[in-house]
Every structure is written in C-alpha cells, then in structure tokens.
Structure 1
Amino acid sequence: MFPPELIPLLEKVQSYNKQADFLAIEKAYLYAARAHAGQLRASGEDYIVHPLGVATILAELGLDTDTLVAALLHDVVEDTGVTLDDIETEFGSTIARLVDGVTKLGRLEDLNKQERQAENLRKMFFAMAEDLRVILIKLADRLHNMRTLKFLPPEKQRETALETREIFAPLAGRLGISRFQWELEDTAFRYLEPDSYREITELVAQKRDVREAIINHAILDLKERIEEYGIEADISGRPKHFYSIYRKMQAGRTFDEIYDLTAIRVIVDTVKECYEVLGLIHSIWRPIPGRFKDYIAMPKPNMYQSLHTTVISDWGDPLEIQIRTWEMHRVAETGIAAHWLYKEGGRPDQKLQERFSWLRSILEWQQELRDAKEFVDGVKIELYPDEVFVFTPKGDVINLPAGSIPLDFAYRIHTDLGHRCVGAKINGRIVPLNYVLQNGDIVEILTSNKIKGPSPDWLKMVRTSGAKSKIRAWFKKEQREQNIAKGKEMLEKEMGRLGLEPHQVLNDDRLQRMASRLNFAEINDLLASVGYGGTTLAPLIQKLMEDYREEHGLEDSSIGDIPEEEPQPFYSQEGVRVRGVSDALIRFSRCCNPVPGDKIIGYITRGRGVSIHTVSCPNAKALQAEPERLIDVYWDEQDKATYPVRIELVALDRPELLRDVVQLLSDCNINISALQARSEKNRTAVVTFTIVVRDRQHLNATLERLGRIRDVFTVQRVAAPGVH
C-alpha cells in the first residue's frame, strides 16, 4: 500500500508511463522522508512537501523514473547527513550523479555572495552538459520555491526573485519550457516590482471584458471558415503574461499600444494545414506588413515552431494569431521535456544533446572567466532570449545575442577568423567593426594575414562571452611568447658577458636536458620561466656551463665566477627551525620567497647562515650539486609571523586597474608594498608588488581573488627584483 500523500504523484506518472518503476519512486520518497524527518519549511510544513512538489512538477512534464527519483532526493545531501556515496549505494550511480548536479557546493565560506553564486552556477552547467535532466530538476526546484516565496523574509524574497529573473527564467526559455518561464517571470516580477505588477494586473482586468468579446467573435468567425475547408482545428485565446507586458511598456510603449495582450492560437494536425490556415486568415483579415514570422521554416534555437501573423480585426484593432501543429504545441509548452527520449534505464538521445550545444559553449569560455561578476554577467548574456539571426555568405544561419557585432560573428565561426578580422561587409556594404548586427544580415568577414592578433579594445566591443574568452586566450599566449623571447635574450646576454657565443652553449639538446632536469616539459617552458623570473638566471647558467665544460673537457677556471645571489633576511627567527641547531642565522632566498606550507630545504652559505629555498625552486635543484651543504629545515608550527611574496599581475591596460587591485587587497586586509606598474605593447599592463601573507593557503586564495579581477590575464608569484 503506497503512502496516501504519494498517490497523486503516482497517478500522474501512470497517466503517461504505465511501465514506470513505482516501487523505486516509493523507495525514494520514504528515504527522503526519513532523511528530512523533523525539518520544516519556512511555511511551517514538513520539509518532505518540497521534494514531493518538485517531483510532481516534473511528472507534469512527463519525465522518466530516474528524474523523479532524483527530484525526491535532491536536497538530502545538501540538507541532511546523507552522502552521495549513500545515494549511490541505495539508488545507483545515475541517481547519485543527478543529485550531485543539483547540490550546491559546500565550503564556500571564504567567498562573497556573488562568488558563491558563480561557483554554484559553474557546477550546475558542468552537470547540465553531462545530463540535461539536471537543469529540469533545478528549474522545478526553483519553481516550487517561488510558489512559497511569501514565507521568506523580504530581503531573501528579493534576492531569490532577482536570481530567478536573471538566470532561471531565461534558462527555462532557452530550453523552450515556456510554462516554467512565464510563471517564474511573473512571480519574480511580483516581488521585484510590486507597484508595477499591481498596476498592470489592474489595467488588464479593466479591459478584460472588451478584449474577450473581440477574441470570442474572431474565434467563431475563424472556426466557421476553417470548418468549411474541412480542416480540424483547436482554436483558443492566449493571454499575454504580465512580465511580457511590463517589458514592452519599459521599451516606451503605452498599455493601449500593446495590441497583442491576447492572441489567438490555432492548432492543426499537419504542417501543410498550418500554411493553408495562414492563407485563409489573410483572406479574412488584412495582415499588417512586417508582422509575419515563419518559425516553422526557421525554428528558434529552443526548438519553438509556429507561424505568427498580425491582422486588423473587424473592430479595427490588431490581432495576433499563432498557428502550429499539435507536436509543435507540445514542444512550445514543455520544450526539452517534449523531446525527452530516455527509456527507463537507457541513454539520452544524442541529437537532443547536440540541439542544446550552447550549454557546452558556456563551458568552453567559463574557465577563462575567473571574475565572479563577469562570469555571471556572461551567463546572463548567453541565456537572454533576445537574439539576432544572420547569414553567412553561403546561406548558413548563425544566431547570436542581440547587440552582437561582426567580431562576435567571426569568433563564432572560427577563432582564427576572429583574430585576423580587419573589417566586415554587411549585405555587400563595408561597415565598421562595432556595427550592431540586425536580423537577416548577410555577414562577410574581411581578414588580413598581416594582422598580428586582436586589439585589447575588442574586449570592450564584443557582446558574447565566447569572443571575449578567445581574445583573452590570445593575450595570455602572447604574454608567454614575450617571456620566452625575454628569457632567451637574458641567456644570450649572459653568454656574451662570459665571452662565449650563445650557440656554443645554448643548443637545443643542452637546453632540453636542462629543462627536463628542472621538471619543465619543453625548452620554451624553461625560457618563459627565466623571462618572468620564475627561474633564477645564475644557477641555471652555472649548470649549463658545467654541462658545456664536461662535454668539451674544459677546466673549471675556463670561465669566470658566477656571483651567488644575495639572500633576503628573514623577518622572524622563529619562522623556520634548523634540525639539530637552535641558534642558526636564517635567511630566506628572494628567488622563491618561501612561505609556510611550501616544502623547503636549507643551504649552508659561506658566512651568511642558512639560506631557505622551496624544494621546487630551480636554484635549490642546482644547489643539490653540493649535498654536503644541504641541511634539513622545517616550519615552526607555532609561528605567527607573516611573509613577503612578490607578485606579478598582467592585465588589459585600463583605467582604475590599480584601484581594483589595491581595493581587493585592502578588502582582504593584506598589506601591499613596492608596487610598480608599466605599460607594454598591445595595451597590456604589468603590475608588480609585494604582499605579506601568513602561509601558502593564504597566498593561493589571494592569487585566486586577484585572478578574478576584470581584464586580468595572468597573476603569479615571481622572484624579487634584481634576482637573476
């Protein structure tokens, strides 16, 4: 006997899937009920009411057993002591993966609200790319929460409503689930703009009787004419939802000017009948030029198909009419769920996954956007329903967010096409790169092999996050190439100082041996490290010369001495202990600036105490040639000292960059000193400065935050100035 509160859900499932695993659904319900026992919603109801409500919403879309089971369990990991391993043991790996996909990340206490939102969105999109059912559960979860939003404090109401309007409602629209989108938008509208919501509902109510009379008369006329042609059709009125009316009024139109407050929807059996009904409608009422849209021939990216036309009714008022088949109607109402081709225990339909490949495009660029605000803003742009449809010269259709420019088009086609873009032709006419694309434009990109790459100004011009990501990636690569060239120049200059021809010592075989010895994958990695100061020059030259002398049978005296680096005194004698020595003079090497958490070794210098290096420091590896002078050292765990670290940050040279860097460090209560900034070619800025940190964990967290600043390309720990 099933629990009585579960019966409505099971009956709904049985109505569309008599082979569903009802025992699995019951098992999940009872498991969740036990896990949530004693927990209450803000409304005062038992918590289990929520997962049951989420599963019921998904059953209304006709989803499979696994999705419903995961919906019932979707909060147990986040809100109870149940683990994902427990879920996998009880219900299998598929259910565990779905539950994990909708579970918020834990341990985000060190992040601010926007950073937490960004990280949770990242996780959600990764999970969506693997299994689209994740987002269906998440949307149903949000829809049920919005229905009970009135029980939350006002501040939480606004926060949830804003995220719903900016992220989840557009996402539902992108997936074609219009019934979710409209309810999410209208509910969010009610909490975010209560006065405007009340005004619009009152205006709609005032004119409802007149509007319904016009619609009913038009429906009767149309029904009679369609029946004369022997076409079976379902004809009904379709009111616009409130948020849609509000957006049009925000665009400058008055309430009386919004003529499609109610539309007529005609549903027929075949595509042929759609066009026949369209011709019939245009023979009854005069169509308004420019208001016909054929979404059957050219479906929207979310799979929506219909014919749209607007005519002048017998009363002289505009009347919008939509014409579609029953299959198109099912897709228009439930979007991705209408195409759900999972069999019980089967695999997803590959074509369905490909239809929503824009999800993967988000994953492609999101890894480049470390700044939380920029990532969330990028998601909003990708999800925003306003799009333009343009054509390649060959006639292929490319859809882009409204406001896109030719550069967005170029990068959507191919990365190299964007990098080499020098101009564009729109409909055969040359236009500037900041031209805003319009529906129907034929776009031809003009390129040049002489152009070196994108301009930093393009980052401010392009609309799509994908284009921004590819431009940033180019600058990161360019910065690496500059460091490689700089490192090579430094090595060659040092060879000249020693009276040697660079090609004598710096051949590829020797450099590759040295790169491998220092744990670099290839020569260019070594040269780049030398260029930005990650590898100190003096010990590297010494090892290269040792290799050179050994190969040519030369004596040590055949080259001059290479000066040993000047180590930096440590700020606290208590920071590091020398094993077996209580009063050793300790100095920290500037080449690697060790901090607690780094693995370290000590090197006994001539008369200047013990020099401390990180184990991974290239200098330390070179010093291992004298093992008798190495000594064990370890961090004093009781030490409360702070440690200086040199940082290099490379970014787009823009106003207020330094302010953003200093402000972030100030917000984190981190002292900063010796800040220097310089501008380089391609409008990049290099900012170097010293910060004081407690340990490596503190340093890594700081580097991560710095990397999230807008327009930052790279941020890394470097050697102190003057260390070569």
Structure 2
Amino acid sequence: MMRQHELVGRVLRYNPQADEELLNRAYVYAMRAHGSQTRASGDPYFSHPLEVAAILTDLKLDDATIVAAVLHDTIEDTEATREEIDRLFGKEIGALVEGLTKIKKLDLVSKRAAQAENLRKLLLAIADDVRVLLVKLADRLHNMRTLHFVPPSKRTRIAEETLDIYAPLAGRMGMHEMREELEELAFRHLMPDARNMIMTRLAEMREKNGAIILRIEHELDEQFKARGIMAEINGRQKAPYSIWRKMERKSIAFEQLPDIYGFRILVDTVEDCYRALGVVHTTWPTVPGRFKDYISTPKQNDYRSIHTTVVGPGRQRAELQIRTHEMHAIAEYGIAAHALYKDARATDGTALSTDSAAYRWLRRTLDLLSEGDSPEEFLEHTKLELFQDQVFCFTPKGRLIALPRGATPIDFAYAVHTSVGNSAVGAKINGNVMPLISQLNNGDEVEIIRAEGPQTPPSAWETVAVTGKARAAIRRATRDAVRAQYAGLGKQIVVRAFERAGQKYAADKLKAALPRLARTSIDDVLAAVGRGEMFSGDVVKAVHPDAKDERVKAPAPDKTEPGWFGLDKASSLVFKVPGATESGSPNAIPIRGLSGDLPVRFAPNGGAVPGDRIVGILTPGEGITIYPIQSPALMHFDDQSERWLDVRWDIDEDRKDLFPAQIKVNVINEPGTLAQIAATIGENGGNIDNINVTARSPDFREMVIDIEVLDVKHLNAIISQLRAKSVVSKIERVNG
C-alpha cells in the first residue's frame, strides 16, 4: 500500500506548489475513517482510494481532485458526513466527494428505466464538475485492474457496464489511453477465448514481421533527419479489443485488417506535421481512402492528428498518425490535459474551459434533460452519441457539421436546426438530388430542401435517423402532432357538448375551471377529452354546474328518423341531433379520412366509405373509430353514451382518397377464379388490401376481401361487376 510521503511526493513532482498539509490531512482522515475495512482481495480497503489517487497523479491533476479521490468512499462507506468534509477540507472538495457518492452505486445493466436514470445522475454530477468524471474513471480503472478478486457473477456485470458506458465516456472526453485500458480489461473478462485467439495471432505476426516493422521505423527516422524534421517515432500494435471490434463491425478476417501495426510520429509544430506527411507520401505508396486530416477538422473530443496508411517494405501495410506533442497529450489524456487542470481552477470557478469540444458535447447531451425526453430515450441518445465514429459534411455556406458514421441527410438537417429537420422534404448531396435516407460520406456538401409552413416529420424517419438528437426531435414532433390532433378533436367534442347544454364555449371560462378538472392548461383538458380520458359532460359541468345534457332515454326509437344514432333496444340511449340529414348534423365533426387533422381510424371489420351514414365511437387513447350506422358492432357501445360522437363526411371532390370496406364472395372452386376476382376489382379502380380464402365445401370457396374504394357508389359498382361473373355464386358487403 502506498505510503503517505509517496502520495505527496507524486503530486510534488509535477506541482511543486501543492498543498502538502492538505494532502497529508486527507490521507490520515481517510485511513482512520476506513479503519479495518477490507476489499475482496483481502487488502485494506484504504488501498483502493490511494490507488485511485495515484492514477490521477499520472494525469497531473490539481490538489482538490487528488484529495477528492482519497476521500471518495468516505461518505458512502464510513461514518463521515458531507458537513464534516466541508468543515475539514472545504466546500469545493465536499461537493466533489458528494458528487461521487451519488453515483457510487451505479448499476447500468439493471432494468432499462433504472439504467437510464442512473446515467442521468452520472452525467448531471459530471456537468456540475467534470473532475467528478475523472475520479470516477480512475475508480473504475482500479476496480477493473482488481476484477479477478470479485465473484464471477458480479465480474460479468461490472465488465459489461465498463464496456457499455465508462470506456466510451473516457473516449468522448478524449482520454484515449484510459479508454483503451478499460476496454482491454473488460474484453479479458467478457470474451477470454476471443482475446486469446487475437493475442496468439498477434504474437505470430510479430515474429514474422518484426524485422519489417523495425525497418519502417528506421527508414522513417532517416528520411526525417535528412529533411531537418525533429520527430519522435513510436511503433505500436493495435489493441486486441479494437481488432476484435473492427473484425465484428466489418465482418472481416484477422488477415484482412489493414492497420494492425502503426506508428505515431510526434513533431514540434503543425507545419512539421504536414512536412512529415509529405515525406511519408513521397517515400511509400498510400492506400486509397485511408487518409484523414483531424488537424483541420478535429473530432468532437478535441482529438487532432493526421492519419494515413502506406504500403511499406515487404508489402506490409502500416498506419501512421502524425501529430504535435501537445496534440498527443490531449489525445492520450483528453480533458485532463487542459491547462485549467494543471494550474488549478479558473478564477471564475468553472471546472472546464468552455471552448473544449468535449465540454460542449457534454453540455449538448445534458440539454436533453430539459426537453422532456423519457429516461429510455435519454439513455438511447447518450449511448448513440458515445459509440459513434464521425463523418464531416458541409452546408452550402461552408459550415462544418460533424455526424456519426452512417448518418443521413435527416441527421444533417436536425444537426443544423430542429426546424430544418422538421420541414425537410428532400436533399441535394454535392449538387445532386438524393433520397433523404442516403448515407453521407466525408466531405459531402449537403443542401436541405424544405417545405413551406409548419410540418410534422414522418414517424418512420425515427428508424432511419442515426443521431440521438434527430430521433428525439422526430419523436417529440410526432408526439406534439398527435397531441394537437387529440386537442383538436377534444375541442370539437367540448364545443358540441356546450351547445347541447344550451351554453356557449368560452376559453376564459374553461381556464377558470381548470382546478376543478385537475388540469394545468386548456390544451390538457381538450387533449384528455380527445383521448377519451375525460368525459365532455364533466367539462361542461365544471364550467356550468347547473347545465343538463339533452340526451334522453327513448323506449321506442324510430330508425327511419333523420338524426337517430341509437340502437333498436328499449333501453338504448338515443342521440337526438336537430336538423340532421343523411350526411349527419350540420354541427357534426367532419371526417376527411386517415390523412386528416383528427386521430381517426375505421371499423376493423368492414370499414366505412363516403356515402355511408356514419357514427363515431371515441376509444380512449386511440381517437375516433368510424362505423357505418348499420354495423352490428355498435351494439357493444349501446350503454356507453359518452363515447358516441356525431360525425359527418367532409370529402373534397378533387381528392381521390380510398377508404376501407370489406366484401364476402362465395365462388366456384376452379382454376382462374381468384384471377378473375382480382382483375375485376383492379379494372374498376379498386385496391385489394387483403384476401382470406376459406374452403366451405369441395366445390366452393369463401373469400373475405379487404378492399379500398372511393365511396359507396364505387363499391356498389364493383359488387355489381363481381356479381355478374359466372364463378360468383353470392356476394355481400360485410358490416363488422
């Protein structure tokens, strides 16, 4: 176990102005607090926070972070309190320790909603002070280094959690070295056979190509010296987990990987980076499509470097990464390499420079917390953002948009602005009109073609979009549109309920009655009525307590009377609609079909078509179901008067929308019968949606056909044409 003077000495080596007294006090306090506690390995528990602190000294972090690491388990696992930490070590360190305490029992492989909430807590703690993440990652790294002491059942859970969340988070914060070690340790426990196979193949390749690798390194050194470029060259081997992930992602064999071996070339200036690149490209042939310039277009985690792959001696492919020493520090240590962490906090108390791309990503992710996404959606978005690599595209004005690999113009549009995404109807990629589902490539110039006025994106876009931002925006727009539909339907229902009660609907009066309806806004009330969650009569009574609904019992209804919407039973409730006609009351809710602005569907068995007298049944959570008045299914709603709606057709004669109906056809069982039926329907402009054929006898078959037609006249014409066929013995319309 590390001694007190060793910890202080590690900090003083990179920060001679460190507060020794503070470090010593924290060491003694934590040691006494943990007392005789032990870890699964049998070691004193206090050894764990010391090792966490040691990892952070390698990152050269400030005193407060080192002290928080030493104390990070005290509030959770000992009798220490936040108040005591604040009093002894200051509120800054107290806040760091409490932030770590809140997320100590993070369980990211539990139920999905709980997993999402835990991830929210983690990111919120990080947002308050990003140093919480640095301590948490160091804590996880030491736990992974000692995972072999943990029981196998817990071992798998912790390794999966590390691979799913912590390693990608380290990568997003630009901490490549820590991410790689976390991935390697998790890989060792989760897939030992796959790792051993890759390690064996790497050893064989090293033995076979070792001399070639040394030769490439030597030739690079000679070429740079000859041109006066001071460069540090380090050969490296791709990590086993990175090899496995690429093999899985691209479905290729080990031998097909182009970049198992690579070299990092570190130079002093950006100019030297491009000079070194020129030397490399004039010495060996390059591999097409393997050049990436992350200096001119940095990654979102601040990573900057030039990548290129060449074919070296012995036809051996090698990837080269060319960067400055400063870029290398940021590539390895990410946010921990920023000056604010080397020289303590900024004078304004901010924990991380706001010009850091990693910080900006974190803030964007956390902005979703205030946009009403469900926990599951937030989790999905964050995981998508953590795992995706990038492509860089441009707007016509030259603005750079970084997107995940596999992104489409839909993702591009939402990355520009949510309103651009919602109104997108097409895209031009490099000047050519392309589908919105096209995958984008590095360097593409994308122009989004937009519709005028407010638009709602198709819900199917959610399955095409790659970015969490686009998916969340599409879901939100779809929910808003559905809510608007329900609110629109609810308003029509409420207005008619007020009219039946002899009152006039007034928004200001309804607003005053909101407390009695337990709703916070008029839209909430209207949407609840539209969804069938609230009875319209209750709304009327909340505004006018003495109002009466004019619906009355009718012992013997006359089914021939215009305006009758009841059923032929003595106990039926009857809707009397004054002035009703065959098309419904003048005040009835207008129905335009599935593409209208109300949540409408048609009777599941039999449908309804223009020309039918229709009834609307309000189904909770589903909107209006339209039935023809002759449908026997209406008997099921005979005693549910609050669900019956007065509706009428409102069809534009210029539109040729098709509506659902169902016919039952008894036919002779002979070859070509089905072809005749289908051809007759098609020739008469009908559309077959579904056919169900049942054998009634050896000689006859019964066909139940779901058909789409313009109106009743169109349906009757098709029925007449079918009835005239010699293969048809009987035909009738189904009214489910």
TM-score normalised by structure 2 residue count: 0.70
- What residue is the counterpart of 2:654 in the other structure? none
CA distance, structure 2, for counterparts of residue 510 and residue 376 of structure 1: 42
User: SS state of the match for residue 397, structure 2?
Assistant: coil
User: SS state of the match for residue 64, structure 2?
Assistant: helix
- What residue is the counterpart of 1:245 in the other structure? 243
Report if aligned partners of 1:361, 1:466 keep a CA contact under 8 Å in 2.
no
Of 426, 432, 435 in structure 1, the residue corresponding to residue 435 of structure 2 is: 432
CA distance, structure 1, for counterparts of residue 344 and residue 488 of structure 2: 58
- C-alpha distance after superposition, 1:295-345 (max 9, x if no partner): 211212111112222222232322222221111111111111111414435
Query: Structure 1's 46 and 508: CA in aligned 2 closer, same or farther, altered over 3 A?
Result: same
Query: Structure 1's 165 and 512: CA in aligned 2 closer, same or farther, altered over 3 A?
Result: closer
Of 175, 181, 189 in structure 2, the residue corresponding to residue 177 of structure 1 is: 175
Query: Structure 1's 487 and 329: CA in aligned 2 closer, same or farther, altered over 3 A?
Result: same
- What residue is the counterpart of 1:365 in the other structure? 368
Report if aligned partners of 1:108, 1:116 keep a CA contact under 8 Å in 2.
no
Of 5, 8, 19 in structure 1, the residue corresponding to residue 3 of structure 2 is: 5
- What residue is the counterpart of 1:137 in the other structure? 135
CA distance, structure 1, for counterparts of residue 221 and residue 281 of structure 2: 14
Shift of 1:204: 1.4
Report if aligned partners of 2:619, 2:643 keep a CA contact under 8 Å in 1.
no
Structure 1 letter corresponding to 2:374: R
Map residues 179-198 of structure 1 onto 2, 5 A cutoff: 179-198=177-196
User: SS state of the match for residue 264, structure 2?
Assistant: strand
Q: Which runs of 5+ in 1 are unaligned?
A: 547-555, 565-650, 654-674, 683-719
Structure 2 letter corresponding to 1:510: K
Query: Structure 1's 258 and 525: CA in aligned 2 closer, same or farther, altered over 3 A?
Result: closer
Map residues 430-509 of structure 1 onto 2, 5 A cutoff: 430-449=433-452, 452-500=455-503, 502=504, 506-509=505-508
User: SS state of the match for residue 315, structure 1?
Assistant: helix
Map residues 98-137 of structure 1 onto 2, 5 A cutoff: 98-104=96-102, 112-137=110-135
Report if aligned partners of 1:339, 1:352 keep a CA contact under 8 Å in 2.
no
- What residue is the counterpart of 1:155 in the other structure? 153
CA distance, structure 2, for counterparts of residue 112 and residue 303 of structure 1: 32
CA distance, structure 1, for counterparts of residue 11 and residue 33 of structure 2: 24
Shift of 1:61: 0.7
- What residue is the counterpart of 1:29 in the other structure? 27
Aligned residues: 561
**Greater RCO structure (CA 8 Å; 6+ sep):** 1
Map residues 535-546 of structure 1 onto 2, 5 A cutoff: 537-538=536-537, 540-542=539-541, 544-545=543-544
Report if aligned partners of 1:456, 1:652 keep a CA contact under 8 Å in 2.
no
- What residue is the counterpart of 1:663 in the other structure? none
Query: Structure 1's 480 and 678: CA in aligned 2 closer, same or farther, altered over 3 A?
Result: closer
* Higher Rg: 2
Query: Structure 1's 34 and 536: CA in aligned 2 closer, same or farther, altered over 3 A?
Result: farther
- What residue is the counterpart of 1:52 in the other structure? 50
Report if aligned partners of 1:310, 1:320 keep a CA contact under 8 Å in 2.
yes
Shift of 1:72: 1.4
Structure 1 letter corresponding to 2:344: E
User: SS state of the match for residue 315, structure 2?
Assistant: coil
Shift of 1:676: 7.0
Shift of 1:417: 1.2
Percent sequence identity over aligned pairs: 43
Structure 2 letter corresponding to 1:394: K
Q: Which runs of 5+ in 2 are unaligned?
A: 553-598, 602-617, 626-639, 645-736
Report if aligned partners of 1:173, 1:385 keep a CA contact under 8 Å in 2.
no
User: SS state of the match for residue 496, structure 2?
Assistant: helix
User: SS state of the match for residue 430, structure 1?
Assistant: strand
Shift of 1:124: 0.7
Query: Structure 1's 10 and 495: CA in aligned 2 closer, same or farther, altered over 3 A?
Result: same
CA distance, structure 2, for counterparts of residue 327 and residue 430 of structure 1: 42
Report if aligned partners of 1:364, 1:466 keep a CA contact under 8 Å in 2.
no
Of 396, 421, 432 in structure 2, the residue corresponding to residue 418 of structure 1 is: 421
CA distance, structure 2, for counterparts of residue 330 and residue 381 of structure 1: 26
Query: Structure 1's 252 and 496: CA in aligned 2 closer, same or farther, altered over 3 A?
Result: closer
Shift of 1:252: 3.3
Query: Structure 1's 519 and 387: CA in aligned 2 closer, same or farther, altered over 3 A?
Result: same
Q: What is the alpha-carbon root mean square deviation over aligned residues?
A: 3.3
- C-alpha distance after superposition, 1:679-716 (max 9, x if no partner): 4599xxxxxxxxxxxxxxxxxxxxxxxxxxxxxxxxxx
User: SS state of the match for residue 216, structure 1?
Assistant: helix
- What residue is the counterpart of 1:593 in the other structure? none
Report if aligned partners of 1:105, 1:119 keep a CA contact under 8 Å in 2.
no
Structure 2 letter corresponding to 1:344: A
Report if aligned partners of 2:160, 2:186 keep a CA contact under 8 Å in 1.
yes
- What residue is the counterpart of 1:265 in the other structure? 264
Report if aligned partners of 1:390, 1:443 keep a CA contact under 8 Å in 2.
yes
CA distance, structure 2, for counterparts of residue 151 and residue 253 of structure 1: 35
Shift of 1:10: 1.8
CA distance, structure 2, for counterparts of residue 365 and residue 681 of structure 1: 33
User: SS state of the match for residue 264, structure 1?
Assistant: strand
CA distance, structure 2, for counterparts of residue 40 and residue 112 of structure 1: 26
CA distance, structure 2, for counterparts of residue 146 and residue 412 of structure 1: 36
CA distance, structure 2, for counterparts of residue 185 and residue 75 of structure 1: 24
User: SS state of the match for residue 319, structure 2?
Assistant: strand
